[in-house]
Each structure stands twice: as C-alpha cells, then as structure tokens.
C-alpha cells in the first residue's frame, strides 16, 4: 500500500510520515516549502523524517493542478492523508487570498486527483475552529458548525462540505479530522508554545490574549499521530442508520465521517504558561492583551466518537508534553 502525506514538511505531517516509515509503510510526501514560516525548519523536518526510511518527496503546491496530477500518476496512492494547507487564524485576516489558493482551489484539485485514481481512503485535516461562535462545550461532531469566526475556519468547513460531496457523488471514502491545539517537538513557530519559549529565553515579554483567560484543549503530537494512523486504516462506510430528516451531523449515508481529535482536557492558558516556566526555569514577562479578532475563548474536544470508532485515547498531559518540546527546542537551536 502506498500512502501519500501532503504537508510532509509541516509539523504534523513530518511526525506522521516518520511514524509510517518506522512501521515499514511505503510513503510519498508532498510539500511546497512556502515561506509562511522559516523554510529551513521545514527542510530540517524532512531530513529528520528521512532518517527513518526512504521518503519519496515531491515539491509541489496544491494549487498547481498539473503538478499535483503528475504526483498522483507517479505515486498512485492507495491512501491520501492530506495535511497541507495555509494555516493560521490571524494570518487569514491579513491574507485571505492565500487561503483561497491552498485551502479551496488546492483541496478541489486534491479531491479530483483522488477520484481519478480511485483512492481507497482520503483522510484530511479540518480544525476545531469550525465550531466558531458556538459556546456548547465540549464540542461534539453532531452539533452545528456553521458560524466560523475566521476565514481560515470557513475554508476548513468548506473542505468538509467538498469532501462529503465527493463521497456522495463518487463513493470516495473521506474522513475529516478536526484538530484541536497541537503542540510538541518540531512545532510551528507561529503557535503559542514556540513563540512563548523563544521570547522567554531572550527576556522578551510574551503576549497573552484575553488576559490569559483562554482555555485550550492542548493535544500532544504523539497522541495526534496515533489517532491519524488509526483512522487512516479504517475507511468509512455509509451509515445505514443515518437519518435525513433532520439530517444527522457527523456521519452520512455517503462514506464520509468527521471526528474531533484532541485531548478532551482543556487547560487554561495561564496554567500552560506556569508549566512552561517550570520547564524552562525562567519566569515570563507577561503582556496582557484583549481577545484577538477571529479567536475563541475556549476549545474542548469530545472524542468519544473517535474512541468508539478506532480506540483513540490521548495519553500525554501538558506536564509531560511541554518539557519534551523544551528539550527539543534547546537541542535544535543550541540554547
């Protein structure tokens, strides 16, 4: 079986590709190595992945329809795990066009390639941000997610609808995973843990939004990868018990499913910072700021559906995960 991992130079994609190679899978990777953040970090991740085995690497952007089709012709994947995207809630306010190109046009190109090559299972990344204005927590897949607060979230919700249409029209098995706040070694520099660590080690203040009263379902990367691997090996079938009036959410009469994947254990941002301070041995200089546009006050994943489907249960608490990130950060940057 050949597995194509898009976004293989990204945070989650690199961890996933390495895990699959360690397990002896045939893995191809696709990434455009764009400059949204330091491409050198992406190159280093790929070298780390290649230590585990032979990665068939393709440097192609999703919006390049011809280039993407050529990758599918060469790889002929049985399973596609789609993690490539333009990420970031705040950046989507500044540059929405990049999200149209990657997350909408690029995803449409990917769906069409999967259809033409009769891919057995497409697993694609969505986000907890799709829950938007909803204050019903913990978030469940069977609750509405139609009021996104950022354009990034809107593109990911659109991906879910696009994938369902291909599942319904062409029988393409699709599973969407709504990721909650993922952290760990090789993380993204634009995310809180990375930014806080860098600032604290240089004596700069850390910017704390909503004056620290944010709560996040921080999910360690190893737990995420375990869930993705399990899902990739369990392609969905049409739900024989699906109800159409009113339509039940989260499952379908088409081979399409959506799951939350998170820690199911929200932690307040101020507590997260305390753990970081203890791990670094450095006190943070705190700059308290108001809530940012497009942000939500709290996230909390109900993962009972994913547990029932593939036995997923997160294992790593922030008290364990944050020190692991710090260990990696010190080694990588020689701090």
Strand 267-268 to 215-216 pairing: antiparallel
The token pair at 274 is: 């305390």
- C-alpha–C-alpha distance, residues 179 and 137, integer Å: 15
Q: Which of 100, 31, 114, 33 is nearest to 69 (CA)?
A: 114
Sign of CA dihedral 62, 145, 263, 167: negative
- C-alpha–C-alpha distance, residues 266 and 258, integer Å: 21
Strand 219-220 to 267-268 pairing: unpaired
* Per annotation, catalytic residue among 131, 152, 220, 312: 152
For the question of residue 166 being annotated catalytic, the response is no
- C-alpha–C-alpha distance, residues 196 and 181, integer Å: 15
- Sorted by sequence, the CB contacts under 8 Å of residue 118 that are 6+ apart come out as none
The token pair at 117 is: 């090559």
SS3 at position 291: coil
Determine which helix (DSSP H) or strand (DSSP E) holds 250, and give its type and residue range: none
- C-alpha–C-alpha distance, residues 113 and 107, integer Å: 10
Provide the β-strand partners of residue 139.
Answer: 301
- Whether 205 contacts 199, CB under 8 Å: yes
- Whether 116 contacts 75, CB under 8 Å: no
Catalytic residue positions? 152
């Amino acid at each position: 079986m050949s597995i194509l991992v898009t976004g293989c130079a990204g945070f989650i994609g690199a961890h996933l590709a390495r895990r699959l190679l360690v397990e002896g899978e045939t893995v191809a990777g696709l990434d455009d190595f764009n400059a949204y953040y330091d491409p050198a970090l992406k190159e280093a991740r790929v070298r780390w992945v290649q230590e585990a085995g032979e990665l068939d690497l393709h440097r192609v952007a999703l919006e390049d329809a011809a280039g993407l089709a050529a990758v599918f012709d060469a790889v002929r994947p049985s399973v596609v795990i789609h993690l490539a995207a333009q990420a970031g809630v705040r950046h989507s306010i500044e540059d929405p066009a990049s999200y149209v190109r990657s997350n909408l046009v690029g995803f449409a190109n990917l769906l069409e390639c999967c259809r033409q090559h009769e891919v057995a299972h497409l697993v694609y990344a969505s986000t907890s941000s799709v829950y938007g204005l909803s204050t019903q927590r913990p978030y469940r897949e069977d609750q509405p997610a139609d009021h996104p607060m950022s354009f990034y979230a809107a593109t990911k919700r659109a991906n879910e609808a696009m994938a369902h249409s291909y599942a319904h029209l062409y029988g393409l098995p699709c599973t969407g995973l709504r990721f909650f706040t993922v952290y760990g070694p090789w993380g993204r520099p634009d995310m809180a843990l990375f930014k806080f660590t860098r600032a604290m080690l240089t004596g700069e203040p850390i910017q704390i939004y909503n004056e620290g009263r944010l709560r996040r379902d921080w999910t360690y990367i190893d737990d995420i990868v375990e869930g993705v691997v399990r899902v990739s090996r369990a392609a969905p079938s049409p739900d024989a018990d699906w109800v159409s009036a009113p339509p039940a959410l989260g499952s379908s009469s088409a081979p399409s499913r959506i799951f939350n994947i998170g820690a199911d254990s929200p932690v307040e941002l101020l507590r997260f910072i305390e753990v970081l301070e203890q791990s670094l041995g450095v006190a943070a200089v705190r700059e308290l700021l108001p809530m940012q546009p497009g942000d939500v006050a709290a996230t909390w994943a109900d993962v009972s559906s994913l547990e029932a489907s593939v036995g997923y249960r997160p294992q790593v608490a922030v008290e364990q995960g944050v020190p692991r990130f710090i260990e990696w950060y010190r080694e990588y940057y020689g701090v």
